[in-house]
């Protein structure tokens, strides 16, 4: 989604602003722009397309000034053309905005009636005109900003600069995140700490409803009631090095190969390496007596939730419901007071999931958040946080966040089984051993890189692809299909293997590759029958299985990818790796923009 950077600086602002935008590129965007104050006047440069196009504009027409704002726009209202790119400006103010102004049509009509002329199709431009009218009516910029915010409905973050006020930056957060960076004689605002990583390590996060007056030496924060407040300043551990590609060609590739390390980092928080005992942070509920768990998430995080569903019910005999966040509130779910709702999210900012969290909280549920960004809104609003330790995930297609989410859910299912006494000590011990071995086994799967690259040759020419799996392999089939769609733009569906004969079998043809995930678990023989059915209809199967499975069914497949044998409980984590790499190599073969696939945003902060 859109990204915001702002600076009240000491030196040239434009290079720092453009650099900040580059670090927000991962969020997804289709135009970019920057505005600064040059001798007190607002000047701006904007371009549709990539930041490189904006850089060309800035190189052709340099932009001076020490105070400015910049933006990457992910189009919602109006096409991704230069006119709609931010900053939006009048002669008095320039603004950048992330989110949606729900009452923009009403405001636009009101402002047009006052003679304001609009230059874009965006909802955002009303903010610039509203501020201008208030300043023209005699209000000081700070008061005008506070008053303008009261007229805006919706979820957003906004930053503004004002002509003639070179030591002033105004910003606000309502729904969309915004961080303040503290420098020495200079201050920054950014959509996240990554944007500000090389500029400062001192960060504070605005609370929802906060608005802030920033100068080169001061930061004055007000809450939603305009009362002056303080927000803790934290040292962020993020550095430029953490967000580099290293020796990899793409962030996604780097993040796939980081998985043994980050899964290990995550598991170590929950599983004691010496005793193999699993411990969770203090929960706001008693697992022994809990009746039910509600899991809620979007996209890849939702598929992690589906695996969690199997695990928690199977191991702990604890009923679980899993919902897609964007549907959750609207189906008016029955949520027992004091029950546990768990929200799974890499970013911790996905607005559908965050709104679902707030809905559950309002119904008296206790809230657990499985998030990768510790300072995120979900982390801050939850009763307990079960962190994933994936480190910054930049590739739009989620990979290491997913397997670390699975690692947390596996630990949770284990702890719940132990608390509820649903498994014998021997079975728990065997399971702890299997969990403990995951990082090493993931490394072994990554070593199958070449076989996966070869299988990608079969998939790349296809228009449609089917992924099949049973049990916990079914969510991984859906995740594999999502990865392929996202980065290679090939249509793909993930299906429960047993459901194929109820419809999708009509699609089987020699040009529709069928990727079958078939670990040696209790469902293997049944999945093998589905492979036979596919083969009998001329389908080409890519079989992902262990040596035993390949010995039994490999002869029916066009290609096989061998995964180490493992306890069936951990197979979803291991089988995630080949589907990620397969999508990656298909995308490489097709020459798509792997880290920034078209139309997608890393963190979806609009409904
Ligand atoms: O940050 P979140 O985990 O809440 O994001 C949820 C989805 O938007 C995300 O998983 C999306 O589906 C990814 N692009 C998948 O690769």
pLDDT digits (tens, 9 = 90+) for 552-598: 999 999 999 999 999 999 999 999 999 999 999 999 999 999 998 88
What is the residue range of 221's domain?
3-235
In a domain, 477, yes or no: yes
Give domain status of residue 196, yes or no. yes
- Measured from the Cβ of residue 142, the count of other Cβ atoms closer than 10 Å reads 17
441 lies in a domain? Answer: no
Would residue 597 count as lying in a domain?
A: no
Q: Which atom of ligand 1 is nearest to the CA of 299?
A: 12
Question: What's 163's domain CATH number?
Answer: 3.60.20.10
Same-domain status, 225 and 251: no
| Ligand 1, pocket-test mutation among 192, 255, 300, most atoms within 8 A of CB | 300
**How many whole angstroms from 298 Cα to the centroid of ligand 1?**
6
pLDDT of residue 25: 81
538: DSSP letter: T
C-alpha of residue 306 to centroid of ligand 1, in Å:
14
CB distance 486 to ligand 1 below 6 Å: yes
Cα–Cα distance between 107 and 127 in angstroms, integer?
A: 9
**Residue 353 has which token pair?**
């999931």
Mean pLDDT of all residues in 24-50: 91
Give the pLDDT band (50/70/90) at residue 237. Answer: low
**What pLDDT score does 596 carry?**
87
479 CB near ligand 1 (under 6 Å)? no
| CB 341, CB 365: distance < 8 Å | yes
The residue contributing the CA closest to ligand 1 atom 16 is 397
**What DSSP assignment string belongs to 135-156?**
HHTT--HHHHHHHHHHH--SSE
In this structure, is residue 606 part of a structural domain? no
Q: Is the CB–ligand 1 distance for residue 345 below 6 Å?
A: yes
Same domain? For 58 and 175 the reply is yes
Assess whether the C-beta atom of 377 lies below 6 angstroms from ligand 1.
Answer: no
Let me know if residue 604 belongs to a domain.
no
Among 252, 296, 301, 597, the mutation site with the greatest number of ligand 1 atoms within 8 A of its Cβ is 301
405 touches ligand 1 (CB under 6 Å): no
Q: How far apart (Å, rounded) are the C-alpha atoms in residues 99 and 79?
A: 16
Please confirm, yes or no, whether 602 is among the known catalytic residues.
yes
Separation CA 79–CA 61 (nearest Å): 25
**What own/partner pairs with CB < 8 Å and gap ≥ 24 does 547-554 have?**
548/520, 549/518, 549/519, 549/520, 549/524, 552/524, 552/528, 553/518, 553/528
Whether 2 sits among the annotated catalytic residues: the reply is: yes
User: What is 339-351 written as a DSSP string?
Assistant: -EEEEEESSS--H
Claim to verify: residue 268 and residue 288 sit in the same structural domain? yes
**Shared domain check, 147 and 34:** yes
Identify the domain boundary among 210, 235, 260.
Answer: 235
Name the domain boundary from 181, 204, 235. 235
CA of 399 to the centre of ligand 1 (A): 10
Query: Backbone phi, then psi, for 296, in 5-degree steps?
Result: -140, 135
Same domain, 497 and 391: no
Do 178 and 66 share a structural domain?
Answer: yes
156 Cα: distance to centroid of ligand 1 (angstroms): 19
602 in any annotated domain? no
456/384 same-domain check: no
Look at residue 79 in the predicted model and tell me its pLDDT: 84
pLDDT tens-digit series, residues 487-516? 999 999 999 999 988 988 899 999 999 999
CATH of the domain at 412: 3.40.50.10490
- The number of distinct structural domains making up the chain is 3
pTM for this one?
0.80
CA angle 508, 545, 557 (to 5 degrees): 40
Identify which of 297, 323, 346 to mutate to test ligand 1's pocket (most ligand atoms within 8 A of the CB): 346
Question: Are the C-beta atoms of residues 370 and 344 closer than 8 Å to each other?
Answer: yes
Position 246 scores a pLDDT of: 78
- Whether 595 lines ligand 1, by a CB cut-off of 6 Å, is no
Assign 243 a pLDDT band (cuts: 50, 70, 90).
Answer: low
Q: Point out the catalytic residue in the list 2, 254, 400, 418.
A: 2
User: 376 in ligand 1 pocket by Cβ < 6 Å?
Assistant: no
The answer on pLDDT for 448 being more than 80 is: yes
Which residue has a Cα nearest atom 7 of ligand 1?
299
For residue 299, report the distance from its CA to the centre of ligand 1, in Å: 5
What pLDDT is recorded for position 242?
Answer: 58
Predicted confidence band of residue 218 (pLDDT cuts 50, 70, 90): very high
**204-207: long-range contacts (C-beta < 8 A, 24 or more apart)?**
204/179, 204/180, 204/231, 204/232, 204/233, 204/234, 205/177, 205/178, 205/179, 205/180, 205/231, 205/375, 205/380, 206/171, 206/172, 206/173, 206/177, 206/178, 206/179, 206/180, 206/231, 207/173, 207/231, 207/380
The verdict on residue 483 lying in a domain is yes
Give the closest residue (by CA) to ligand 1 atom 4. Answer: 345
Q: Ligand 1 test: best mutation among 398, 494, 583, 592, most atoms within 8 Å of CB?
A: 398
Share of the chain above pLDDT 70, in %: 99
Say if residues 435 and 409 touch (Cβ distance below 8 Å): no
Ligand 1 within 6 A of CB of 350: yes
Q: Does residue 571 line the site of ligand 1, with CB under 6 A?
A: no
Ligand 1 site, residue 123, Cβ cutoff 6 A: no
- Regarding whether 412 and 458 lie in a shared domain, the answer is no
Q: Note whether 180 and 202 are within 8 A (CB).
A: no
The token duo for 194 is 């990554």
| Average confidence score pLDDT of the chain | 93
Residues 422 and 534 in one domain: no
Q: Are residues 160 and 24 located together in one domain of the fold? A: yes
Which of 184, 206, 235 corresponds to the end of one domain? Answer: 235
Asked if 425 and 305 count as a contact pair (C-beta separation under 8 A), the reply is no
Confidence class for position 456, pLDDT limits 50, 70, 90: very high
Give, using CA atoms, the residue closest to atom 14 of ligand 1: 397
Predicted confidence (pLDDT) at residue 274 exceeds the cutoff of 80: no
| Burial (0-12, 13-18, 19+ Cβ within 10 Å), 449 | middle
Residue 118 main-chain phi, psi, to 5 deg: -95, 145
301 lines ligand 1 (CB under 6 A): yes
pLDDT at residue 342 greater than cutoff 60? yes
78 and 215 fall within a common domain = yes
Q: Would you say the CB of residue 325 lies under 6 angstroms from ligand 1?
A: no
Task: State whether the Cα torsion 344-347-353-354 is positive or negative.
Answer: positive
Confidence of residue 241 (pLDDT cuts 50, 70, 90): low
Q: Which residues pair with 35 in a beta bridge?
A: 44, 69
Which of the following is catalytic: 108, 366, 596, 602? 602
Q: Looking at the structure, tell me whether residues 386 and 458 fall in a common domain.
A: no
């Amino acid at each position: 989604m859109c990204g915001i950077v702002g600076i009240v600086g000491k030196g040239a602002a434009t290079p720092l602003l453009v650099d900040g935008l580059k670090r927000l590129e991962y969020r997804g965007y289709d135009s970019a722009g920057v505005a600064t104050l040059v001798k007190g006047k607002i000047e701006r440069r904007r371009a549709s397309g990539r930041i490189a196009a904006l850089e060309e504009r800035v190189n052709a027409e340099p932009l001076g000034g020490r105070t400015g704002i910049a933006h990457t726009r992910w189009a919602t209202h109006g096409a991704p053309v230069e006119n709609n790119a931010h900053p939006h400006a009048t002669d008095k103010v320039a603004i950048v905005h992330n989110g949606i102004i729900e009452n923009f049509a009403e405001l636009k009509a009101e402002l047009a009636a006052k003679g304001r002329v609009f230059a874009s199709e965006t909802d955002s431009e009303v903010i610039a005109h509203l501020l201008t009218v208030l300043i023209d009516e005699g209000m000081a910029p700070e008061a005008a900003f506070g008053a303008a915010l009261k007229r805006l409905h919706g979820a957003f973050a906004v930053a503004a600069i004002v002509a003639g006020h070179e030591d002033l930056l105004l910003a606000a957060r309502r729904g969309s995140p915004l961080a303040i960076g503290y420098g020495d004689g200079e201050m920054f605002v950014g959509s996240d700490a990554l944007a500000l990583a090389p500029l400062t390590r001192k960060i504070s996060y605005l609370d929802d409803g906060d608005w802030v007056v920033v100068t080169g030496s001061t930061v004055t924060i007000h809450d939603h009631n305009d009362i002056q407040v303080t927000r803790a300043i934290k040292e962020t551990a993020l550095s430029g090095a953490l967000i580099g590609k290293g020796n990899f060609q793409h962030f996604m590739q780097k993040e796939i190969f980081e998985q043994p390390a980050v899964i290990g980092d995550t598991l170590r928080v929950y599983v004691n390496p010496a005793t193999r005992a699993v411990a969770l942070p203090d929960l706001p509920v008693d697992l022994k007596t809990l009746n039910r768990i509600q899991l809620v998430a979007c996209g890849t995080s939702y598929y992690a939730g589906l695996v969690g569903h199997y695990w928690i019910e199977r191991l702990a005999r604890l009923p679980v419901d899993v919902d897609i966040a964007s549907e959750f509130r609207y189906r008016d779910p029955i949520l027992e007071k004091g029950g546990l709702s768990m929200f799974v999210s890499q970013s911790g900012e996905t607005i559908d999931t965050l709104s679902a969290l707030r809905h559950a909280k309002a119904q008296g549920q206790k809230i657990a958040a499985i998030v990768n960004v510790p300072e995120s809104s979900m982390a801050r609003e939850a009763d307990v946080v079960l962190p994933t330790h994936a480190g910054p995930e930049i590739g739009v297609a989620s990979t290491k966040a997913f397997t670390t989410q699975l690692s947390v859910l596996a630990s949770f299912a284990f702890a719940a089984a132990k608390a509820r006494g649903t498994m014998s000590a021997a079975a728990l011990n065997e399971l702890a051993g299997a969990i403990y071995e995951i990082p090493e086994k993931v490394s072994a799967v990554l070593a199958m890189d070449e076989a996966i690259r070869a299988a990608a040759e079969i998939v790349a020419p296809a228009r449609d692809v089917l992924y099949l799996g049973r049990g916990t392999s079914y969510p991984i089939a859906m995740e594999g299909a999502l990865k392929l769609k996202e980065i290679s733009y090939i249509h793909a569906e993930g299906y429960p293997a047993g459901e194929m004969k109820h419809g999708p079998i009509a699609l089987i043809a020699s040009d529709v590759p069928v990727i079958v995930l078939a670990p040696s678990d209790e469902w293997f023989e049944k999945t093998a029958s589905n492979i036979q059915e596919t083969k009998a209809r001329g389908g080409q199967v890519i079989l992902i299985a262990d040596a035993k499975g390949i010995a039994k069914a490999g002869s029916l497949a066009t290609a096989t990818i061998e995964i180490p044998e493992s306890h069936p409980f951990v197979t979803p984590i291991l089988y995630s790796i080949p589907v990620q790499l397969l999508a990656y190599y298909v995308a490489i073969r097709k020459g798509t923009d792997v880290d920034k696939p078209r139309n997608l945003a890393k963190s979806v902060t609009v409904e």
